[in-house]
């Protein structure tokens, strides 16, 4: 994620204070207290949240998703979406009942392993009671049929609008932090990664760009076109996209041989060549710095929706209504390693995504002959003691101000301070070891600091504590 302007960030931070899209504690609290009479001995309810204290109702407990198969029909003119989601999962406890996250829509049916299930809604929680309880360790498939006009999240988490956002010619779909639920039922938290199949039917002339690779593009039975995309590497829900509309495409391979797809709204037709070439060059360069590319393709999409931000959607970074410069492309493509392949288990560790992607911007600028990373670090450190980044410890990202500048800038400065302490050889070996040891996995700050200590043989507690966890400016 990259914000385009500091002023926008400040404005949105103010908006975020009162706004929340989650149901009240009362509503869900009462629900979770209902008796377990229907369940045989041992089967219990899955928790309504996955266990992230900062986002208590995001994700869900009691199961682990392996795969989402999403069949969606969307008509831009009416903004009507018809969905059928089949979610394959494994029960991690015996389950009498479990939840999915879904915002808005009319749910017309839910089944578990082919048998009709009963369900209820409360805020963004869809509660499912299978006909028979699920045993711990059981693999199961839940199918949800739903329809309606998607309701994106507006003005929350200092981000403006996110989720499935209808546009004049289609939709702009960028879901960080918890907007996947605006277009499909999900275990909507980055701690649960899964593979995805998308089968999306749209009117003739509309192009659908989802994650991974295009499997087929066929005329649909009732008219229009069905696009089938497959993301066969694990992905967090907020990185799923099905951005659609009128697009010009350029496809091929990077000089290093990685599949590359650039797409632009016709309003940005002049950017297509640059987006394609830059995305390829930068991806290839990051392979030399961060290690093997973790996915099947790279590229980027420029839509004409003025989101005011870019999001690193897996394999398809999305730029919302502006011409991306090299720095933003470098940032979003670095996220393919930091945030996408290696995903955070808790939102408080967001600096593991944004600090790394911001540091990547500095590395790219230095690589192309601009300011050095050290100059960028000094400029940041020269900010006065009263600057807001010093009172916001980036190692503990706050739910009401998740995308604070400190998480980005002070996060990147943390990495530079570490690099100075352990030296270039160890630092760059650390980056590659980090991405290799946790490829397609989930990570925490503690795991990163432990690896840094292991590879450097140095005690680094005071460095990380000063840079990540203290509400004041560290000594340089």
Which positions touch Zn ion (CB under 5 A)?
1-2, 354, 357
Q: In whole angstroms, give the CA distance from residue 211 to residue 360.
A: 23
Residue 441 is classified by DSSP as S
- Looking up tokens 């999962």 gives 89
Q: In whole angstroms, give the CA distance from residue 196 to residue 67.
A: 6
Token reading at 470:
């203290």
Shortest Cβ 390–Zn ion spacing (Å): 21
Count CA atoms within 13 Å of residue 249 on its CB side: 13
Shortest Cβ 144–Zn ion spacing (Å): 31
Other C-beta atoms closer than 10 Å to the C-beta of 6 total 9
Residue with smaller CB distance to Zn ion, 335 or 438: 335
Torsion of CA 285, 290, 295, 300, to 10 degrees: -50
- Enumerate the H helices of 64-204 as residue ranges: none
Residue with smaller CB distance to Zn ion, 329 or 357: 357
Q: Are 302 and 268 spatial neighbours (Cβ–Cβ below 8 Å)?
A: yes
Nearby residues of 25 by Cβ (< 8 Å), 6 or more positions away = 56
Residue with smaller CB distance to Zn ion, 356 or 434: 356
Shortest Cβ 2–Zn ion spacing (Å): 5
Shortest Cβ 354–Zn ion spacing (Å): 5
Shortest Cβ 392–Zn ion spacing (Å): 17
Shortest Cβ 337–Zn ion spacing (Å): 12
Residue with smaller CB distance to Zn ion, 74 or 351: 351
Q: In whole angstroms, give the CA distance from residue 156 to residue 178.
A: 10
Reference 452, options 425, 422, 417; nearest CA is: 422
Radius of gyration of the chain (CA): 22
Residue with smaller CB distance to Zn ion, 101 or 354: 354
Residue with smaller CB distance to Zn ion, 2 or 156: 2
Reference 124, options 18, 20, 23, 238; nearest CA is: 23
Residue with smaller CB distance to Zn ion, 103 or 331: 331
Shortest Cβ 344–Zn ion spacing (Å): 12
């Amino acid at each position: 994620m990259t914000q385009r302007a500091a002023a926008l960030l400040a404005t949105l931070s103010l908006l975020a204070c009162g706004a929340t899209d989650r149901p009240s504690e009362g509503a869900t609290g009462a629900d979770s207290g209902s008796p377990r009479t229907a369940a045989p001995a041992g089967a219990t309810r899955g928790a309504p949240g996955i266990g992230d204290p900062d986002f208590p109702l995001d994700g869900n407990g009691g199961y682990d998703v392996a795969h989402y198969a999403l069949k969606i029909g969307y008509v831009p003119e009416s903004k009507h979406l018809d969905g059928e989601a089949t979610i394959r999962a494994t029960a991690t406890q015996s389950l009498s009942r479990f939840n999915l996250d879904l915002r808005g829509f009319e749910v017309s049916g839910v089944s578990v392993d082919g048998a009709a299930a009963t369900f209820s809604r409360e805020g963004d929680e869809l509660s499912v009671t299978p006909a028979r309880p699920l045993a711990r360790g059981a693999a199961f498939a839940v199918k949800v049929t739903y329809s309606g006009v998607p309701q994106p999240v507006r003005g929350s988490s200092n981000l403006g609008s996110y989720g499935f956002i209808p546009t004049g010619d289609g939709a702009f779909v960028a879901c960080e932090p918890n907007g996947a639920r605006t277009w499909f039922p999900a275990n909507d938290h980055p701690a649960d990664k899964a593979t995805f199949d998308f089968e999306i039917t749209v009117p003739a002339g509309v192009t659908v760009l989802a994650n991974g690779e295009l499997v087929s593009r066929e005329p649909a039975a009732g008219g229009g076109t069905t696009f089938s995309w497959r993301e066969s590497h694990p992905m967090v829900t907020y990185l799923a996209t099905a951005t659609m509309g009128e697009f010009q495409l350029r496809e091929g391979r990077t000089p290093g041989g990685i599949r590359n797809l650039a797409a632009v709204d016709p309003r940005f037709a002049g950017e297509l060549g640059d987006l394609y070439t830059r995305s390829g060059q930068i991806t290839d360069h990051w392979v030399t710095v961060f290690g093997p590319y973790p996915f099947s393709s790279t590229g980027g999409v420029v839509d004409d929706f003025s989101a005011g931000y870019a999001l690193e959607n897996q394999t398809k970074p999305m730029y919302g209504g502006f011409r991306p410069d090299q720095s933003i492309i470098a940032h979003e493509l670095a996220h393919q390693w930091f945030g996408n392949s290696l995903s955070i288990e808790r939102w408080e560790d967001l600096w593991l995504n944004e600090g790394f992607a911001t540091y990547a911007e500095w590395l790219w600028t230095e690589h192309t002959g601009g300011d050095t990373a050290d100059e960028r670090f000094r400029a940041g450190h020269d900010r006065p003691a009263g600057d807001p980044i010093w009172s916001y410890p980036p190692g503990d990202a706050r739910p009401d101000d998740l995308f604070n500048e400190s998480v980005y800038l002070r996060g990147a400065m943390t990495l530079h301070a570490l690099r100075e302490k352990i030296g270039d050889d160890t630092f760059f070996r650390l980056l590659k070891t980090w991405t290799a040891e946790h490829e397609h996995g989930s990570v925490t700050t503690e795991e990163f600091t432990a690896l840094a200590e292991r590879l450097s043989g140095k005690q680094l507690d005071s460095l990380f504590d000063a840079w990540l966890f203290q509400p004041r400016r560290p000594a340089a």
